[in-house]
Structure 1
């Protein structure tokens, strides 16, 4: 039984050595610390930061104060994009990576997931500890803020379309009719 739980822990350094020749090793090395300290999140000793723009979206997702021009709508959407990443209507940016580099990155992510799982598996009653420490509540708050930010971004792009604004104040596929409002 103990041998079965130790097997993934032995495979992690071996996988790390295999990845050392890949371009993904830099990302792997920087992610090991975060994966190994994942129990700090469970104990609520380390918290994920919620950007201010997401907290504002959570408080009032339909607020249109000072958003009377396409440029201000676009600026607010840019702030949300910075916190959330690109919207689903945006094509992925070409990163110029090769198939081998993408495979190395995927292997790095798998190894980091294994380290994170191994580190958190050592906590008995993890779900209860997360509830009692407040980590579960904070995790739900982070997810709610992300959802509110996505909802606000979609709302603002709809407002931008209604006002005949060009992207980024509207979805990437939208083409303004006639002259776009500024």
Structure 2
């Protein structure tokens, strides 16, 4: 019997026995998703419940092109001779990575009770994700054999390269006396920004 066949037999047995509590937990979660104070809980249940698909490498996290380019050459300055082009590249990175640490947090107008509800729904989604992945026997080996661990490392490498490139470009923008977003948010160009 090959490793792949043994893995298939093991997964079939696992689905038959271990998925009963998981199905119950998912059903309860779906019922809770109808609660008014749970925000985006209902939309996150599907992703949390299907987390084992990531471990089996049946579903992969998409890596944006801008992060793959940053991973290939984080210090590339081709076509970035103007402040406007540097700012445009930083905005592309912001879309993929989220706001930089020098940016103030966005005010979404939510109340404290809404933020508390969001925190509770995030905790519930984490519990569902943990419960769904804890049922996988030998999870670390399955992640290695399926290639999911390698892809996860690639995603983290691309994110790190994107952050490094964004910081580099903001430094270049500061050096060229550019206004934000081509420089850090706190930077004020001297004598007017270059174009």
For 2:28 and 2:51, the matched residues in 1 are separated by 21
| 1:61 aligned residue (48, 58, 74) | 74
Give deviations 1:54-100, integer Å, cap 9, x for gaps: 00000000000000000000000000000000000000110000111
2:38 maps to which residue?
Answer: 24
CA contact (8 A) 1:9 1:118 kept: no
| 1:144 aligned residue (152, 157, 168) | 157
Give deviations 1:86-122, integer Å, cap 9, x for gaps: 0000001100001111111011111111111111111
Q: Which runs of 5+ in 1 are unaligned?
A: 1-5
- How far the C-alpha of 1:12 sits from its partner, in A, is 7.0
Q: After superposition, where does 1:1-182 map in structure 2 within 5 Å?
A: 20-25=34-39, 27-182=40-195
Instruction: Give the paired residue count.
Output: 176
TM-score (norm 1): 0.90
CA RMSD across the alignment: 2.0
CA contact (8 A) 1:131 1:137 kept: yes
Provide closer, same or farther for how the CA distance between residues 50 and 11 of structure 1 changes in structure 2, counting only shifts above 3 A. Answer: closer
- How far the C-alpha of 1:9 sits from its partner, in A, is 8.2
Q: Which runs of 5+ in 2 are unaligned?
A: 1-19
SS at match of 2:36: coil
